[in-house]
């Protein structure tokens, strides 16, 4: 019925922009009032509006993109639990349970029903990263140590913590008592609730101004318009079946085996099917999730990356995945490392389509959510508990038209960024010794892969360190069209009595003052033959310190006079001819 409602173009455009503006304002409220830097600095959250059926109306621009596939699942599960008549104005529901939208338990979802004139019209939702939910969850889940969800932390399964506006003090106290940093967690919870309450008021105002029939009609039109735009883009891809595979590093379940990611993409007219059934079955380790986010993110990037996201953005996409796949794991599979596979899944979907879109698809990027660092303990100078958290970026793949981006978090993370040095040093007892581009880490190519990042910190008091690059130690980010692979990642630690850094992945390691931790994130793969790179660009990379003189000659065939720092043109031509001849023989 709503699809047949005639809406004047001006009203439609007002609503097309007004609804996402609510989600954007939710994000601003959340950042301004939250307690932990993973929200107000790193921006590891998303805010959204969904209709009364659990369909995504909008998500804030820059919101964590790997949350987009799972918000509707949460709302529909809540509707199954309570029924459409089981919600009241003033209710607040909290959930992080892995049986529905399996993620690490730190990603806590808070939502409220939106009523207008006594009718349920939708839901406001905020999913955000809490610093701790008990168990081994402090900072980031200790995926390598977790053997079941109960060990990971507190599981909250569609719990009403407010009913008709009245808080359930027993439930809130139970949550508080099981969290190491209750002031931060309860503060973040209040921030999430406040953002949802603001959205309720704003959405109610829109319904009262334009009427329910008009608003619902506009939403249906917006969904249809988004679907049509995506279909139009997909229809430009040649019909066919496209396949690719890649591998993740061994996950601890079997140290000798890499983990396969096998993708099939079927294009038929404006329809696309992404088949994930060839990927690994669920693992014994924490390398499991329950999400369609990898397929959704790749599809959105291919179709309408700059358009607002809503339910219509994915109507023309079909995702094939079976229960028991490591991306559709069944509870109680361990899901502490739920996000590790997603960036590589996105890269592999794009890799499959590279033959069909040769001028569009980039080489692989860092392939993880980035290098994470956590340091927590009690500061003797203040007598207060502290926790440091940051996510450090890596290199993106070279593209068919330019070099990859340096030191950026993954395609799955929206506007997530690292915590500023000033905030880290002001609020936690550390010194940030270095945060720099990782020279030589970008894969060689006509268009070089982006550089990874080196971050080094020294603790000023005793505390526990954790650091992870979540993979890309053995399976480097690949190049495309003849480009070379990017550098793999690595973590290091140096105790105060040690002269040199040693490679290690600390997990909750109790360390004395003046312990230093360094992470080196992966670089992006290169695109195109390095022998086709403009020699002047190679020289510029040497002068900038991005590559060495040895790499300029060995990888790019460019000979540079080390004394004058100028290109030896004749020697370069000869060197490249020789390299091309040897390559053709192989």
DSSP per residue, 350-389: HHHHTTT-TTT-------SS-EEEEEEEEETTTTEEEEEE
**Helix runs in 47-99, H state only:** 71-82
For residues 215 and 123, membership in a common domain is answered with yes
Please count the CA atoms within 13 angstroms of the CA of 393 that sit on its side-chain side.
27
Q: 436: domain range?
A: 362-528
User: Largest Cα–Cα distance of the chain, in whole Å?
Assistant: 81
- In whole angstroms, give the CA distance from residue 64 to residue 483: 30
Q: Are residues 440 and 564 in the same domain?
A: no
Segment 427-446 mean pLDDT = 97
Query: pLDDT tens, 491-549?
Result: 999 999 999 999 999 999 999 999 999 999 999 999 999 999 999 999 999 999 999 99
Domain end point (choices 199, 226, 253): 226
Inside any domain, residue 269: no
276 part of a folded domain: no
pLDDT at 3 over 60: no
Give the ranges where 64-211 is alpha helix by DSSP (H): 71-82, 149-152, 169-177, 182-210
Question: How large is the average pLDDT for residues 112-126?
Answer: 97
Which tokens is 431 given? 């010194």
Find residue 392's DSSP bridge partners: 371
User: Residue 263: pLDDT above 90?
Assistant: yes
For the chain, what is the mean pLDDT? 95
Same domain, 55 and 107: yes
The gap between the terminal CA atoms of the chain, to the nearest Å, is 65
Domain count, the chain: 3
Q: Is residue 101 assigned to a domain?
A: yes
Rounded to an integer, what distance in angstroms lies between the CA atom of residue 430 and that of residue 433? 9
The per-residue pLDDT for 475 is 94
- In order, the DSSP letters of 245-303 are EEEEPP-SSSTT--EEEEEEEEEETTEEEEE-TTSPBPPSSS---B--HHHHHHHHHHH
75 touches 125 (CB < 8 A) = yes
234 inside domain:
no
Considering the domain architecture, whether residues 434 and 554 belong to the same structural domain is answered as no
Confidence of residue 333 (pLDDT cuts 50, 70, 90): very high
- The reply to whether 28 and 134 lie within a common domain is yes
- Residue 66 pLDDT grade (very low, low, confident, very high; cuts 50, 70, 90): confident
If we measure between CA atoms, which residue out of 573, 553, 519, 318 comes closest to residue 444? 553
How many H-runs (helices) and E-runs (strands) does the chain carry?
13, 22
**Residues 456 and 554 occupy one common structural domain:** no
> What's the length of the chain?
586
Q: pLDDT exceeding 70 applies to what percent of the chain?
A: 98
* Rounded-to-integer distance, Cα 281 and Cα 414, Å: 28
Domain termination residue (choose one: 528, 548, 563): 528
**Which residue, 492, 509, 528, sits at the end of a domain?**
528
Q: What torsion, rounded to 10 degrees, do the Cα atoms 43, 49, 52, 57 define? A: -120
Residue 267 resides in a domain: no
Count the Cβ atoms, other than its own, within 10 Å of residue 232: 13
Chain segment 409-424, per-residue pLDDT in tens:
999 998 899 999 999 9
The reply to whether 572 and 435 lie within a common domain is no
Are 123 and 201 contained in the same domain? yes
- Backbone dihedral region of 304: left (phi > 0), alpha (psi from -120 to 50 degrees) or beta? beta
In a domain, 29, yes or no: yes
460 with 542, same domain: the answer is no
Nearest-angstrom CA–CA distance, 368 and 34 = 26
pLDDT class for 254, splitting at 50, 70, 90? Answer: low
Grouping H, G, I as helix, E, B as strand and the rest as coil, residue 571 is helix
pLDDT in tens, 356-414: 999 999 999 998 888 899 999 999 999 999 999 999 999 999 999 999 999 999 999 98
Q: Give, for 583, the enclosing helix (H) or strand (E).
A: helix 569-585
pLDDT beyond 80 at 1: no
Same domain as 570, residue 430? no
Does residue 484 lie within any of the structural domains? Answer: yes
CB atoms under 10 Å from CB of 536, counted, come to: 10
Global pTM?
0.96
Instruction: Specify if 139 maps to a domain.
Output: yes
Q: What is the pLDDT of residue 2?
A: 46
3-state secondary structure 510-563: EECCCCEEEEECCCCCCECCHHHCCHHHHHHHHHHCCCCHHHHHHCCCCCEECC
Q: Within a 10 A sphere around the Cβ of 366, how many other Cβ atoms?
A: 40
Alpha helix stretches (DSSP H) within 356-475: 421-427
Q: Which pLDDT tens digit goes with each residue over 451-506?
A: 999 999 999 999 999 998 767 889 999 999 999 999 999 999 999 999 999 999 99
570 and 470 assigned to the same domain: no
């Amino acid at each position: 019925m709503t699809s047949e409602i005639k809406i004047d173009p001006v009203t439609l455009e007002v609503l097309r922009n007004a609804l996402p503006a609510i989600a954007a304002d939710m994000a601003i409220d959340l950042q301004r009032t939250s307690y932990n830097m993973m929200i107000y600095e790193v921006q590891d959250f998303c805010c959204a509006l969904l209709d009364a059926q659990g369909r995504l109306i909008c998500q804030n621009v820059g919101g964590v993109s790997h949350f987009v596939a799972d918000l509707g699942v949460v709302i529909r599960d809540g509707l199954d639990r309570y029924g459409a008549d089981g919600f009241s104005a003033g209710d607040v529901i909290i959930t992080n349970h892995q049986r529905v939208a399996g993620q690490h338990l730190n990603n806590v979802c808070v939502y409220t029903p939106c009523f207008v004139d006594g009718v349920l019209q939708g839901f406001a939702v905020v999913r955000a990263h809490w610093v701790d939910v008990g168990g081994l969850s402090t900072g980031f889940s200790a995926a390598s140590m977790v053997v079941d969800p109960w060990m990971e932390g507190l599981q909250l399964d569609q719990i009403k913590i407010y009913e008709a506006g009245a808080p359930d003090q027993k439930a809130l106290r139970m949550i508080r008592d099981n969290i190491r940093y209750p002031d931060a967690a309860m503060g973040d919870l209040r921030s999430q609730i406040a953002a949802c309450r603001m959205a309720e008021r704003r959405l109610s105002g829109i319904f009262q101004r334009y009427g329910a029939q008009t608003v619902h009609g506009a939403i249906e039109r917006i969904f249809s318009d988004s679907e049509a735009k995506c279909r139009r883009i997909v229809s430009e891809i040649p019909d066919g079946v496209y396949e690719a595979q890649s591998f993740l590093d061994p996950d601890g379940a079997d140290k000798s085996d890499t983990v396969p990611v096998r993708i099939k993409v079927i294009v038929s007219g404006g329809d696309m099917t992404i088949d994930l059934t060839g990927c690994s079955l669920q693992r014994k380790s924490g390398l499991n999730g329950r999400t369609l986010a990898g397929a959704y993110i790749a599809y959105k990037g291919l179709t309408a990356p700059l358009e607002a996201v809503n339910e219509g953005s994915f109507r023309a996409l079909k995702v094939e995945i079976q229960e028991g796949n490591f991306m559709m794991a069944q509870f109680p599979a361990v899901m502490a490392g739920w996000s590790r596979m997603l960036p590589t899944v996105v890269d592999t979907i794009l890799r499959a389509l590279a033959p069909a879109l040769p001028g569009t698809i980039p080489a692989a990027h860092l392939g993880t959510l980035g290098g994470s660092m956590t340091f927590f303990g009690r500061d003797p100078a203040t007598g207060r508990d502290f926790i440091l958290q940051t996510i450090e970026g890596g290199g993106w793949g070279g593209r068919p038209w330019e070099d990859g981006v340096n030191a950026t978090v993954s395609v799955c993370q929206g506007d997530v960024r690292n915590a500023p040095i000033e905030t880290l040093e002001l609020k936690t007892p550390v010194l940030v010794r270095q945060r720099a581009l990782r020279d030589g880490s970008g894969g060689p190519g006509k268009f070089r892969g982006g550089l990874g990042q080196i971050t080094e910190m020294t603790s000023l008091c005793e505390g526990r360190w954790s650091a992870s690059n979540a993979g890309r130690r053995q399976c480097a980010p690949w190049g495309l069209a003849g480009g070379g692979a990017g550098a793999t990642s690595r973590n290091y630690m140096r105790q105060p009595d040690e002269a040199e850094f040693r490679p290690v992945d600390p997990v909750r390691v109790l360390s004395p003052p003046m312990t230093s931790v360094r992470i080196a994130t992966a670089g992006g793969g290169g695109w195109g033959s390095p022998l086709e790179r403009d020699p002047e660009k190679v020289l510029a990379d040497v002068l900038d310190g991005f590559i060495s003189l040895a790499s300029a000659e060995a990888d790019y065939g460019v000979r540079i006079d080390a004394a004058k720092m100028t290109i030896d043109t004749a020697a370069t031509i000869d060197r490249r001819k020789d390299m091309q001849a040897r390559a053709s023989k192989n």
